Chain A
């Protein structure tokens, strides 16, 4: 329990540092995002060890949806907008989700096939 609390305080400190940096340098980025980059850098450089924060990180990620509920409740104020704009929104959401899926998959597939082919060509010429 104490360990989890300590881990939480560590993550919290990183988060607040991220917020502080954003305010201080007037970055156009969310503080939490800067905190994520800081933690990633600290782990990669070996300043931080994974066990220091691993338990709390896993706990956070597992219950992500719980943390999002209060921010989604505000939609009740916009039910009127759904009546007038609902169909437009449905069209855009469907089309853009499909676009992301399609373009990401085809780009990755294209690059991977090309790399494989290049590797094969390399083998033949050797």
Chain B
């Protein structure tokens, strides 16, 4: 009991202080690749090494964060509810485009993974990488992937999409504001939605809707994909 309390305290202090610094740095330089998730992860790893703290000790103290990640996922209902009018109005476009995007993305992962002969654990960790991180973690777990790798994949593909997305819209002549918001939300998740809000209210609303709908869709289809690719 005592060790659990001290581990939790240790984990909380290290994580929160690194986060506070990481966010400051990100706000100051405002570069995509300085995303706090990268810088804070590196900072935590350095701190653990510096003070000779065992990773397992850190992980055993992280229960409080998994609990809060659960309540955070529940909280996602709020932005979705706020946009219920817009959602109802454009439901067919939103669902069909996000569903097509997700299906194509998973198909691409499964086919390429077979093509380059990637091991199964990695493939399973890749499958949920186009949905928002907390949901991706639970999907990854239930598929038998490695959740921490999945989070890394989600963030990396998010940052990649955030950088290449605007270039692609220009090149592919995507002029529809809805299409831009939806695509960025579906591929870069929360990062994409907040960027889309900078373009405009409609883009942002579409972006955050794509985040919720993709999570919903992927949660429902992922068990099917698992059977399809490995039986």
Contacts and interface: CB of A to CB of B under 8 A. Distances in A.
A and B bind: yes
Nearest to B22: A65
B55 A92 contact: no
Contacts, number: 289
A73 B55 contact: yes
Contact of B176 (A32, A76, A109): A109
Interface of B: 11, 15-16, 18-19, 35-37, 40-41, 44-45, 48, 55, 58-59, 62, 65-82, 84, 92-94, 96-98, 100-102, 104-106, 108-109, 112-113, 116-119, 122, 126, 129-130, 133-135, 137-139, 142, 146-149, 151-153, 155-157, 160-161, 164-165, 168-169, 172, 174-176, 178-180, 182-184, 186-187, 190, 210, 215-216, 219, 223
Contact of A107 (B65, B67, B100): B100
B41 A72 contact: yes
A68 B172 contact: no
A73 B44 contact: yes
Given A70-B59, A101-B168, A108-B183, A75 B77 contact: no
B138 A32 contact: yes
Contact of A101 (B73, B118, B187, B215): B187
Contacts of A32: 69-71, 73-74, 134-135, 138
Interface string A59-84: 01101111111111111111001000
7 contacts: A14-B74, A53-B78, A57-B77, A66-B19, A75-B151, A97-B160, A108-B179
B6 to A, nearest CB: 16
A37 B72 CA distance: 13
A98 B151 CA distance: 18
A84 to B, nearest CB: 9
Nearest to B37: A65
For the complex of A and B, list the 8 residue pairs with the smallest distance between their C-beta atoms, beginning with the closest: A104-B101, A74-B148, A30-B138, A70-B62, A32-B73, A105-B183, A108-B179, A57-B75
B58 A73 contact: yes
